[in-house]
Amino acid sequence: MEIRGVSKTFHARGGQTAALERCDLAVAKGEFVSVVGPSGCGKSTLMMIAAGLEAPTSGDVLVDGRPAGPAGPKRTVVFQRFALFPSETVAQNIGFGLRVAGTPRAECEQRIGELLRLMGLERFRDAFPHELSGGMQQRVAIARAMAVRPEILLMDEPFGALDAQTRTVLQEEVSRLQRELHYTVLFITHSVEEAVYLSDRVVVMSRGPGRILREIAIPRDAAWRGLDIEQAGEHAGFMQVKREIWELLRGEIVRH
Ligand SMILES: Nc1ncnc2c1ncn2[C@@H]1O[C@H](COP(=O)(O)OP(=O)(O)OP(=O)(O)O)[C@@H](O)[C@H]1O
């Protein structure tokens, strides 16, 4: 996916807000890219535009070199709030996009089974969302987004509403899945640690109107890859990248 020269200005009753200014960002196939930036810098706006849920004021979003067009199953989004269908079971929720796409029943069942296993949800197959913890609900939301095999998975603070322990478990699981399966992911987070732990590249945005300030590549073979997040966080290389990003962010947060 390529976000090319994207700017966004909102017009509201009280005047206008420039949310994004000429943002360029590319996510290669199989790459996990995180975006961090000060609060209100336009991260969610960037995600909505990437998803085709909001139109840019200027600039383009391309997938495979072609205009991405409106939202669709090629780009699925996981939001902070789980947004599951309350009267559908876990399996039905995961299968939603497949049913909409008219996927044959046997293939749906096979794909649902695979995702239940991948996300550790097999026991909850026939449960309803209200019977699940927040962490389990977010696993279902991630599985539902992955079920249609999107070209890119867009995640806007997907662990933001979870308690610290659940968040840690999901971070480690997403990291493991990513090392095995190499999804193409654009991920928004407030947590520099989470961004460093999960990503191939971290994009730092300026305060609003958001611009891309810096991109920091994190090698796949970094010594701390595969460690749990606590051990990784104690690694000198990890700390150094985290500090570099945090210094950039601090500069934006305190800038007047
Ligand atoms: N629909 C809208 N109408 C008017 N202004 C908006 C709209 N959506 C966002 N904005 C403004 O655009 C700017 C960027 O908002 P956005 O939610 O994208 O930032 P963010 O970086 O995701 O924030 P946070 O980190 O706090 O979640 C803010 O000034 C916000 O008030």
CB atoms within 10 A of CB 217: 12
- CB of 41 closer than 6 angstroms to any ligand 1 atom: yes
Instruction: State whether 154 and 247 are in the same domain.
Output: yes
Look at residues 107, 125, 149 and tell me which one is the last residue of a structural domain.
149
Ligand 1 centroid, distance to 162 Cα (angstroms): 22
Which residues of the chain are modeled with pLDDT < 50? Answer: none
For ligand 1, mutation pick of 3, 36, 41, 192 (most atoms within 8 Å of CB): 41
Is there a single domain that holds both residue 140 and residue 194? no
Contacts with 240 (C-beta within 8 Å, 6 or more apart), sequence order: none
In sequence order, what DSSP letters do the residues of 197-228 get, joined into one string? HH-SEEEEEPSSSB-EEEEEE--TT-TTTTS-
Same-domain pairing of 39 and 118: no
The verdict on residue 211 lying in a domain is: yes
Residue identifier of the C-alpha nearest atom 16 of ligand 1: 42
Same domain membership, residue 41 and residue 16: yes
Q: Is 209 touching ligand 1 by the criterion CB < 6 Å?
A: no
End position of a domain, from candidates 94, 120, 149: 149
Q: Which atom of ligand 1 is nearest to the CA of 205?
A: 21
159 within domain boundaries: yes
State which ligand 1 atom lies nearest to the alpha carbon of 45: 18
> What is the Å distance from ligand 1's center to 39 Cα?
9
Would you say the CB of residue 17 lies under 6 angstroms from ligand 1? yes
39 lines ligand 1 (CB under 6 A): yes
Position 162 scores a pLDDT of: 86
Are 51 and 102 members of one domain? no
Residue 201 lies in a domain: yes
Q: What is the pLDDT of residue 255?
A: 67
Structure token digits, residue 34? 């995180």
Same domain, residue pair 121 and 230? no
Whole-structure pTM over 0.80, yes or no?
yes
- Measured from the CB, is residue 129 less than 6 Å from ligand 1? no
158 and 248, same domain (yes or no):
yes
Boundaries of domain holding 145: 84-149
Mutate to test the pocket of ligand 1, among 8, 43, 79 (most ligand atoms within 8 A of CB): 43
Instruction: Say if residue 116 is exposed, middle or buried (CB neighbours under 10 Å; 0-12, 13-18, 19+).
Output: buried
For residue 150, is the peptide bond before it cis, meaning its omega torsion is within 30 degrees of 0?
A: no
Are residues 164 and 142 part of one domain? no
- The residue whose C-alpha atom lies closest to atom 3 belonging to ligand 1 is 10
Residues 100, 44: one domain?
no
Strand 212-217: give its sheet, edge to edge: 75-78, 152-156, 185-188, 32-36, 201-205, 212-217
Contact (CB, 8 A) for 98 and 111: yes
Extract the tokens encoding 217: 């590549």
- Regarding the beta carbon of 44 and ligand 1, being less than 6 Å apart is answered yes
Residue 79 placed within a domain: no
Q: How many domains does the chain have?
A: 2
Based on the fold, state whether residues 161 and 243 are members of the same structural domain. yes
The last residue of one of the domains, among 149, 168, 198, is 149
Pairing of strands 75-78, 185-188: unpaired
| CA–CA gap between residue 24 and residue 91 (Å, rounded) | 38
- CATH code of the domain containing 161: 3.40.50.300
In a shared domain, residues 61 and 114: no
22/145 same-domain check? no
pLDDT at 70: 84
Best CA proximity match to 88, nearest among 143, 150, 29, 130: 130
Atom of ligand 1 nearest to the CA of 54: 1
